[in-house]
Amino acid sequence: MYSDKVMEHFENPRNIGEVENPDGTGNVGNPVCGDVMKVTIRVEDGRLAEIKCKTLGCGAAIATSSITTEMAMGMTLDEAMALTRDDIAQALGGLPSNKMHCSNLAVDGLHEAIADYRSHNS
Amino acid sequence: MANRQQTIYLDNAATTMVALEVCEAMLPFLGESYGNSTTLYHLGSAAQQAAETARQQVAGLLGAEKEEEIYFTSGGTESDNWAIISSVLGQKKRHLVISSIEHHAVLETCEDLAKLGLEIDFTALPVDVEGRVNPEELRRALRPDTALVSIMHANNEIGTVEPIRELAEIAHEQGVLFHTDAVQTAGKIPVDVKELGVDMLSLSGHKFHAPKGTGALYLRKGTRLNAFMHGGGHERNRRSGTVNIPGVVGLGKAAELAGEWLESEMPRLKQLTEKLWTGIAAAIPQVTRNSPVEGSLPGMLNVTVAGAEGEAMLMYLDMHHGICISSGSACTTGSLDPSHVLLAIGVPAETAHGSLRFSMSHYTTEAEIDTTIAAMSVEIEKVRAMSPTWDG
């Protein structure tokens, strides 16, 4: 059902946890739907210097969280804001269609964390 | 990488391994003895003979009065569809009563019938926190136009055994036919059609060590039920289609074995289930048992784990330990909602996503249960450590 890339990220998820004293935090998902993510970031010189994610969810949720943190690391905030769910799914070699909307939330969490950072630093 | 050196198979409610004895019984009919059971020459009569022996074996497992009451089908889903669709279409009455925790083979069939524009409707009875139907609810739900009551013998997700005898009596008092889906109970606990008092009963071979694609409908003699599959008039004109002789032989052998194993397996599996539960509950905080302690299938345990999602847990258990189990999380139900059974017994959606089902068989060992408890403890800690909602 899952691609090798999804399985690889699921088995070894990157950047799990929370950034200490984060510059921005994004909380997305809903326990009733089964997927909840908390993305925390540290910003340095307008770039993402540290991204961490905590995830409650299925295999796809964990894998998308992992690869999102990996892909966005070092990006400018604008570049990270331009990332889409499709970009994440593509980087994972595709996701089952029923997972595209409920589990592919990490990029939304990242965007929310950036918006949170910007609301304090505008 | 993945540990594929061991397989601990605890998903026997999904399907089971074909027993070696079953395999051996089937082999001649996959080879030299390939006749069609409706033909007159020697190959045909050998096939017919084999099918009739199998019919006796299945009738024996179910305590059926006559082997002619057994009709071979392709499995539980076909038997359920047949019993429900033909019952309602064969009568002027247009109302069905089921429970809210039926298998999808019953649930979806009723939902589909209700959409056909034939003025068919159905009532899904609620269940209590253990998943049990209250017979009084059935009494209230019956109407003069009720054609059939179909309530499962035991639930496939939590294992609750329903009071079928009492429910069937209530239906019969009102002259209503009674069907039970015994897919999870046939070969696992005593299933005696006379004791249960049912008119129809569905079973599936692959749930008790026969191959997939085998099953039967018990139809009490004298019960009117139109054919569902039309064609060459097999199965005494009730279920057309060339009889799957190897499959039927396997089903019969598996029924015989299950009958032999039943008495010793029931207490053994009950003991293993309690061992699994006490082991998990002692090692892992905030785990809830969804399967009733009493009046439940021996060998089935459904739990919910707070702060962890079912699919993730089952995938790590498979990947690192070769453990095969299932979950009622939305991700594994193939819809956006978690298990309708867990929701019906009052488990909140947010915890239902963290449900796991273990189901054992004749081949499950105590050592496998020990390994599973230890593996659960390791993997759940990892999954919880990743969760933003778990603070230990």
Which domains, and CATH codes, for chain A? 4-120 (3.90.1010.10)
Q: For chain A, what's the residue count?
A: 122
Q: What is the pLDDT of residue B72?
A: 98
Which residues of chain B have a CB within 8 Å of the CB of A61? 309, 312
The beta-carbon neighbor of B386 closest among A31, A55, A99 is A55
Q: What is the pLDDT of residue A11?
A: 95
ipTM above 0.90, yes or no: yes
- What is the rounded CA–CA span in Å between residue A26 and residue A68? 13
C-beta separation of B316 from B327 below 8 A: no
- What is the rounded CA–CA span in Å between residue B316 and residue A16? 16
Which residues of chain A have a CB within 8 Å of the CB of B315? 10, 59
Cα dihedral sign for B321, B324, B326, B331?
positive
- What is the rounded CA–CA span in Å between residue B339 and residue B337? 7
Virtual CA dihedral for B272, B278, B283, B285, nearest 10 degrees? 130
Which residues of chain A have a CB within 8 Å of the CB of B307? 56
Q: What is the pLDDT of residue A31?
A: 85
Which structure tokens are listed for B343? Answer: 């929701």
Q: What is the pLDDT of residue B5?
A: 77
Contact A58 B349 (CB under 8 A): no
- Give yes or no for A31 touching B (CB within 8 A): yes
- Distance of alpha carbon B24 from the chain centroid: 25
CB atoms within 10 A of CB A20: 9
pLDDT(A18) > 70: yes
- Give yes or no for B318 touching A (CB within 8 A): no
Chain B residue with the nearest C-alpha to that of A57: B309
- Give yes or no for B356 touching A (CB within 8 A): no
Q: What is the pLDDT of residue B391?
A: 81
Q: What is the pLDDT of residue B4?
A: 61
Nearest to A103 by CA among B385, B336, B270, B347: B336
Distance from CA of B189 to the nearest CA of A (A): 34
The beta-carbon neighbor of B386 closest among A16, A31, A60 is A16
Q: Return the higher-pLDDT residue of A97 and B228.
A: B228
pLDDT tens figures, B52-98? 999 999 999 999 999 999 999 999 999 999 999 999 999 999 999 99
Q: What is the pLDDT of residue B334?
A: 64
pTM: 0.95
Q: Which of A58, A64, A97 to mutate to test the interface with B (most CBs of B within 10 A)?
A: A58
Q: What is the pLDDT of residue A1?
A: 83
Q: What is the pLDDT of residue A33?
A: 83
Distance from CA of A20 to the nearest CA of B (A): 15
- What is the rounded CA–CA span in Å between residue B277 and residue B288? 10
Which residues neighbour B135 within 8 Å (Cβ) at sequence distance 6 or greater? B163, B166, B167, B170
C-beta separation of A114 from A24 below 8 A: yes
Contact B350 A54 (CB under 8 A): no
Strands B8-9 and B355-359: unpaired
- Indicate which residues of A carry an active-site annotation: 33, 102
Which of A 47-106 lie inside 8 A of B, CB atoms? 54-62, 98-99, 102-103
Q: Return the higher-pLDDT residue of A32 and A50.
A: A50
Which structure tokens are listed for A102? Answer: 């409920």
The parts of chain B modelled with pLDDT lower than 70 are 1-4, 331-336, 392
